Each structure stands twice: as C-alpha cells, then as structure tokens.
C-alpha cells in the first residue's frame, strides 16, 4: 500500500515539474526570462504557486535546473571523448539529446537565448581536449590547438542553430553525417589523416 502511494506521488511530482518546465519554455519563446513571473508560469502549467515553491526558488532557478539537466546529459557524452574530431556516432548521440530536448533548444538558440549556457556547453571538454591533442599532435602549438577547438565547437553550434531554425528537418543521424564531413574537411587542414577518428 505504502509503495503504491509513493509511486503515485513520484508520478505526480514528475508531471508537475514537466508542466512547469513546458510552461516556462513556451513563454521564453515570446519573452526574455526577466519578464516572466512565477505567476505566469504557474497559470499556464495549471499549478499553484505554493507547489512551484516546493521545487524552485524562482523562474531563474527553474531555468537553471532545466539547463543543468541538459548540460549533465551532454557532459556524459562529450566529456568522455578524447578524439581530435568527434565521430559520427558521438555527434548522432549529441543531436539525439538535443532533439529530445528541442523545446529547450528552441529557447537556447532563439531570440531570448542564454548565451552563457552556450559558452558553458562549448567548454565541456576544452581543457581535456587541448591536453590530449597536444600529446597526440606533438608539434602543434597552443594557439593552433585553441583555434582547432574553437573551429570544432562553433561549427557544431552553428549547425545546431541552423537545425533548430529549420525546425529539425534532418534526423539526428543525417545531421551527424553532414557535420562530420564538414569537420573532417576543415580539421584536415590542421592535422594529418591518421589523427582523424
């Protein structure tokens, strides 16, 4: 009996948090975060304010938690890669995570997007990648490696931004293949073929 009540409660909590998330993200497509109130979020989610405050301090806290969930998922994928160039399988998995979270992606890349969040994501593997690349490539100087990281990062960000703006027309797999080709051709100017993975 107790387990059944707990399961029902967990489901209710998940539903409430999802409703609040969807409400905030829907409003962020029309207005910046500083113009959105807890009251507006709660009205759209059909959740009372006292329930909101059980989980979040304010709309900024809610947004931070939403972004952190995505960041953690991406960190798990990207943070383990030490290849000079992310392969098509890794890119596909990253794009699948973004596609599953497309409501957030529309906000991040939209008119009222959070540029700080994009910086945080782009630096997930920067230090480790630069260290690993230096060992792999030996003769490459720090500045060249920093440019290589910037090239790979912003190529990906640009591709994802276009994907979002075209309402996710390609599948994650199609986009991964395209991005890999773009990166492979661009990175080959920096390094020799044996380092491409």
Q: What is the pLDDT of residues 185-195, one digit of tens each?
A: 876 666 554 44
Q: For 106-153, how does the pLDDT look when each residue is reduced to its tens digit (9 = 90+)?
A: 998 888 887 788 778 877 767 767 777 777 777 778 888 888 888 888
Cβ atoms of residues 93 and 77 within 8 Å = yes
- 62 within 8 A of 20, measured Cβ to Cβ: yes
> How far is it, in rounded angstroms, from Cα 98 to Cα 90?
12
- Domains belonging to the chain, first-starting first, are 1-56 (1.10.10.60), 65-195 (no CATH)
Q: What pLDDT sits at residue 193?
A: 45
Are the CB atoms for 84 and 133 separated by under 8 Å?
yes
Between residues 20 and 155, which one has the greater pLDDT? 20
Is pLDDT at 82 greater than 70 in this prediction?
no
Q: What is the pLDDT of residues 152-182, one digit of tens each?
A: 888 888 899 999 999 999 999 999 999 998 8
Distances (CA, A) of 118 to 105, 136, 139: 10, 27, 30
Residues with Cβ < 8 Å from 146, sequence gap 6 or more?
130
Task: Give the rounded percent of residues in the chain with a pLDDT score beyond 70.
Answer: 85
Q: What is the SS3 assignment for 23?
A: helix
Element (H, E) at 185: helix 172-187
The pLDDT value given to residue 132: 75
From the list 19, 23, 34, 33, the residue with the least C-alpha distance to 108 is 33
pLDDT of residue 137: 72
Mean pLDDT, range 80-85, rounded to an integer: 64
Inter-residue contact 36 to 62 (CB < 8 Å): no
Which among 68, 66, 70, 67 is positioned nearest to 17, based on CA atoms?
66
pLDDT of 81: 65
Q: Tokens 């991005």 appear where?
A: 179
């Amino acid at each position: 009996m107790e387990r059944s009540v707990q399961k029902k409660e967990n489901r209710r909590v998940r539903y409430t948090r999802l409703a609040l998330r969807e409400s905030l993200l829907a409003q962020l497509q029309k207005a910046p975060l500083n113009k959105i109130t807890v009251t507006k979020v709660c009205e759209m989610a059909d959740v009372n304010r006292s329930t909101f405050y059980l989980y979040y301090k304010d709309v900024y806290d809610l947004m931070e938690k939403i972004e952190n969930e995505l960041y953690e998922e991406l960190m798990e994928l990207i943070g383990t890669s030490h290849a000079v160039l992310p392969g098509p399988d890794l890119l596909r998995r990253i794009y699948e995570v973004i596609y599953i979270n497309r409501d957030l992606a529309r906000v991040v890349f939209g008119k009222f997007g959070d540029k700080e969040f994009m910086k945080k994501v782009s630096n997930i593997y920067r230090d480790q990648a630069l260290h690993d690349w230096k060992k792999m490539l030996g003769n490459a100087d720090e500045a060249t490696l920093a440019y290589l990281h910037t090239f790979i990062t912003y190529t990906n960000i640009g591709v994802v931004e276009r994907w979002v703006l075209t309402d996710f027309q390609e599948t994650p797999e199609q986009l991964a293949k395209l991005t890999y080709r773009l990166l492979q051709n661009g990175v080959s100017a920096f390094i020799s073929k044996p380092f491409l993975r």
